Amino acid sequence: TKEETFFYHSDHLGSTSYITDDNANITQYDAYLPYGELLVDEHSSSEDLPYKFNGKHFDEETGLYYYGARYMNPVTSLWYGVDKLTEKYPTVCGYVYTLDNPVKFIDEVGYKPSLSALRKAAKKLGVELSVIRAVFQTETGGQTYTKDGRIKILYERHYFSKFTHGKYNKDRDISAPTPFKGKTHKEKGKEVATPEIDQYGNPSNQYRRFEKAKKLDEEAAYSSISYGSFQIMGSNYKDAGYKSAKEFGDAMFSADEDKMLDAFTNYISANHAMRKALLNHDWATFARLYNGPSYKDNKYDTKMAENYKIFSADPFKGYKESKIKIPSR
């Protein structure tokens, strides 16, 4: 018998709206209430395919969504079971959506940075909270994770080439003296298309290249990617407070954003010129030191200035602590 092939069509939240077969016929239609409770679940195929709200698996027997680390009840809009990290952060409710915002902040593993950690970092650096939030917003768009839940990384082939002394430059996918570029770049004042081999590409490409490079030289590979919330290069592991690039990378891959914040605080504290630029709101100098001499190509300085202005008006914009108390055990 011929195997059936189905195609998921998701909305802006990653929730399945329609499912079609290989003849483009609609076989399933789902619609949801705000927290994932099924409003409509129509299907004409032989089975009701389970990946629904946020693309997560819906268990019909329990009525719960499985998020990998724990279950969520779409009727009560609460997680089933207290997050184990609650013991580490006693002021944070372990049952609710991150920041009470199901659209922008869905943190199924409970690693979203706490406000207390942000305040502590700002105090240590002697800057306003809005400064730290401006850097975070600029580096990652305020999103630490990719759509499939992994932390954002960026693989830099010219770093790998440098650390391995050009030994693997025959494979331009992972090693070359020149960095990757976007889909287009400027050449002699004109915007031109970048050859595919020289493009950064999507998040999956970053992980694929990293795994490929890791098989050749593990420490060099860990040194050649930038990680998470603040996109700190692995080669800066010492200033970030770690003994090796691998130790630093593994800490970042744990997806604990407080660790990412600590790494950023340590890194800036170890670099006087960067800290001074932040204190003076000298975004051009900071961007040059933090992002490199080509910072203007991506307008890092102007983006940071704009984000700082936004968060200066409201340092806690989109970042509200839950008022719900943790239930007694």
pLDDT tens, position by position, 138-181: 998 877 878 777 889 999 999 999 999 999 999 999 999 999 98
Instruction: Determine contact, residues 219/164, Cβ cutoff 8 Å.
Output: no
Place 297 in a pLDDT band, splitting at 50, 70 and 90: confident
Average pLDDT over residues 256-274: 92
Closest CA to 160 of 150, 152, 170: 170
Q: Give me the residue label for tokens 């090693």.
A: 175
Q: Which position has the higher pLDDT, 295 or 225?
A: 225
Q: Is 43 helix (H, G, I), strand (E, B) or coil?
A: strand
Q: Counting every residue, how long is the chain?
A: 329
Lowest mean pLDDT of 126-130, 215-219, 270-274, 323-327, name the range: 323-327
pLDDT confidence band for 256 (50 / 70 / 90): confident
Write out the two tokens for 304.
């940071």
Q: What percent of the chain has pLDDT over 90?
A: 43
DSSP string, 49-109: --B-GGGPEEETTTTEEE-SSSEEETTTTEEES--GGGGT-TTS-SSSPGGG-TTT---TT
Interatomic CA distance for residues 63 and 203, integer angstroms: 32
**Rounded Cα gap, residues 165 and 159, in angstroms:** 10
Which phi and psi (to 5°) does residue 172 adopt?
A: -65, -15
The 8-class DSSP code of residue 10 comes to: E
Task: Please report, rounded to a whole number, the percentage of residues in the chain having pLDDT higher than 70.
Answer: 84
The end-to-end CA distance of the chain, in Å, is 53
| Position 268 pLDDT exceeds 80 | yes
In the structure, what pLDDT confidence band is assigned to residue 130 with cuts at 50, 70 and 90? Answer: very high
pTM of the model: 0.63
87 vs 289 pLDDT, higher one: 289
Mean pLDDT, the chain, as a whole number?
Answer: 84
The mean per-residue pLDDT over the stretch 216-229 comes to 95
> Is residue 282 packed enough to be buried (19+ CB in 10 Å), middle (13-18) or exposed (0-12)?
middle
Sheet with 225-227, strands from edge to edge, namely 153-155, 225-227, 232-233
Q: Which pLDDT score, from 0 to 100, does residue 91 have?
A: 52
Rounded average pLDDT over 233-247:
96
* Rg over CA atoms, the chain: 22
Rounded CA-CA distance 152/143 in Å is 8
